[in-house]
Amino acid sequence: MRALTVLGIETSCDETAAAVVRGRAPGPGEILSNIVFSQLEEHRPYGGVVPEIASRAHVEKLDGIVAEALAAAHIKLSDVDAVAATAGPGLIGGVMVGLTTAKALALAAGKPLIAINHLEAHALTARLTDGVKFPFLLLLISGGHCQLLSVEGVGRFRLYGTTIDDAVGEAFDKTAKLLDLPYPGGPRIEALAKNGNALRYVLPRPMRGRIGADFSFSGLKTAVRQLVLGGGIDAADIAASFQAAVIDILVERTKAAMGAFRSDFPDAGDAALVVAGGVAANGAIRRALTDLAEQEGFEKKIPPPGLCTDNAAMIAWAGVEHGQLGYFDGIGVSPKARWPLAGTPLGGRIGAPAKG
């Protein structure tokens, strides 16, 4: 099967991104360009992402970002094999901007369109970087998602656990806000925690020891809030204690999912633990999950930090994977604010196998 060259577009939240990737499954692939415009400065005064501002920035920046990505890859639009774009989940205004642009480019160049699930793109990034084989265990940790799934193939996922309330990235951001740290909160908490005593404050580890692999972070966030409101706290010690609690939760819940994965795939002796999403850029979390993988006999595969956060290279690579299977989308494909991985069928896509 020949390698495909795919232009990818990502606009699901507050990064405007375009990339060109070339390769064939299972990877690794070659990133020819990966351009990301971050809107942090636009959203910083509000302490979080403002959907209307994000959408406007995507409209203003995307055409130039796409042109820059093609120029950096030293190719023309006519040279790509397909155009891929995030179709969800995400802020619907931003998703619409990226998907509409991709439709226009695909029509103008006579190229196939591939609508990508943003979460699946995160999941497949380890194949772009390391050529990870199916099946593998995925821990997806970001500002909006916290899930453990088996990844059995393109469009094939099995859910082991998910958050019953807040995502882990949201807990980082809310804790940072309580400590008056500037947006974005996750990196600020990590930096502050390096100078703190993780044993100073006793914080809860919700769901720890429960059957299954679900997560909960609301109680942890509330406990931090109560400490802060009580006054007299040391911010670095709070940050360190909070991060240690998060790590304990992630490690224990992931270990539970590893047991379920081994039961479902007893022959996958060299299976990988893939960690993806923006929170996977946290160094302390990466180290703890690396240790867990070694203890449990899994290969640890965590993409570089720049490919854990939102980017278009992962969208383009997911387009490579779908394109090589002949999975394309009609021009009428709709953007989706919500698009869960588990239970998401490929049926209805051009070239997808019939259901049943």
Cα 85 to Cα 136, 144, 154, 188, 300: the distances in Å are 24, 19, 16, 30, 28
Q: State how far the Cα of 292 lies from the Cα of 306, in Å rounded to an integer.
A: 23
Q: Taking Cα atoms as reference points, which of 123, 151, 106, 154 lies closest to residue 333? A: 106
How far, in Å, CA of 136 to CA of 270, rounded?
9
The verdict on 119 and 144 lying in the same domain is no
Residue 337 counted as domain residue = no
The string of pLDDT tens digits covering residues 245-258 is 999 999 999 999 99
Classify residue 101: in a domain, yes or no: yes
Q: What percent of the chain has pLDDT over 90?
A: 81
| Residue 156 shares a structural domain with residue 289 | yes
CA-wise closest residue to 341 among 154, 190, 62: 154
pLDDT per residue as tens digits for the range 125-149:
999 999 999 999 999 998 888 999 9
Comparing CA positions, the residue from 191, 336, 250, 48 lying closest to residue 344 is 336
CA 266 to chain centre: 27
Residue 145 has what pLDDT? 86
Residues 114 and 183 in one domain: no
Structure tokens at 40: 């942090």
Rg (C-alpha) for the chain, rounded Å, is 20
Q: Inform me whether the pLDDT recorded for 46 exceeds 70.
A: no
Question: 44, 182 in Cβ contact below 8 A?
Answer: yes
In this structure, are 118 and 203 located in the same domain?
no
- Which residues lie across from 149 on neighbouring strands? 138, 159
Of 2, 287, 278, nearest in space to 146 by CA: 278
Nearest-angstrom CA–CA distance, 253 and 309:
22
Q: What is the mean pLDDT of the segment spanning 163-170?
A: 92
Q: Are 12 and 58 in contact (CB under 8 A)?
A: no
Residues 64 and 169 in one domain: no
pLDDT of residue 351: 53
**3-state SS, residue 84:** strand
> Per the structure block, which two tokens stand in for 17?
């991104």
Angle at 304 between CA 25 and CA 150, to 5 degrees: 55
For residue 37, is pLDDT > 80?
A: yes
User: Which amino acid makes up residue 279?
Assistant: V
User: Is 298 inside any structural domain?
Assistant: yes
Query: Which residues have C-beta within 8 Å of that of residue 4, sequence separation ≥ 6?
Result: 22, 23, 24, 81, 82, 319, 320, 323, 324
pLDDT at 172 over 90: yes
Residues 197 and 76 in one domain: no
- Model confidence at 13, pLDDT cuts 50, 70, 90, reads confident
Specify whether 256 is located in the same domain as 206.
yes
Same domain, 106 and 193: no
Average pLDDT over residues 185-191: 93
Q: Structural domain of residue 272, as residue ranges?
A: 135-305
Average pLDDT over residues 11-37: 95
Which residues, 6+ apart, have CB-to-CB distance to 240 below 8 Å? 192, 193, 194, 195, 196, 197, 198, 200
The pair of three-digit structure tokens given for residue 218, joined into one six-digit string: 């609301």
Whether 194 is in a domain gets the answer yes
Q: Would you say residue 335 lies in a domain?
A: no
**286-309: string of b/e by CB count within 10 Å (b at 16+)?**
bebbeebbeebebbbbbbeeebbb
The predicted pLDDT at position 354 comes to: 38
Q: Is the pLDDT reported for residue 356 higher than 90?
A: no
pLDDT digits (tens, 9 = 90+) for 77-122: 999 999 999 999 999 999 999 999 999 999 999 999 999 999 999 9
Given this model, what pLDDT does residue 346 score? Answer: 53
- Residue 45: the pLDDT is 63
Among candidate residues 65, 67, 63, 59, the one with its CA nearest the CA of residue 97: 59
Whichever domain contains 258, its CATH number is: 3.30.420.40
Residue 130 in domain: no
Task: Give the tens place of pLDDT for each residue, 300-354.
Answer: 999 998 999 899 999 999 999 999 999 999 999 999 998 988 755 554 455 554 3
Assess contact for 300 and 320: CB atoms under 8 A: no
Each residue's pLDDT tens digit, 266-280: 998 889 999 999 899
- pTM for the whole thing? 0.92
| Residue 203 belongs to some domain of the structure | yes
Are residues 113 and 169 both part of a single domain? no
> Residue 92 and residue 51: Cα distance in Å, rounded?
8
Give the distance, in angstroms, between the CA of residue 38 and the centroid of all CA atoms in the same chain: 16
pLDDT at position 147: 95
* Residue at 278 is within a domain: yes
The total number of structural domains that make up the chain:
2
Same domain, 80 and 175: no
286 with 318, same domain? Answer: no
CA-CA distances (angstroms) from residue 315 to 86, 152, 180, 331, 356?
Answer: 7, 19, 34, 18, 28
118 & 249 share domain = no
| Closest by Cα among 260, 140, 255, 248 to 199 | 248
Mean model confidence pLDDT for the chain: 92
pLDDT reported for residue 257 = 97
Summarised one tens digit per residue, pLDDT across range 73-88 is: 999 999 999 999 999 9
Element (H, E) at 246: helix 235-264
* pLDDT the model gives residue 353: 47
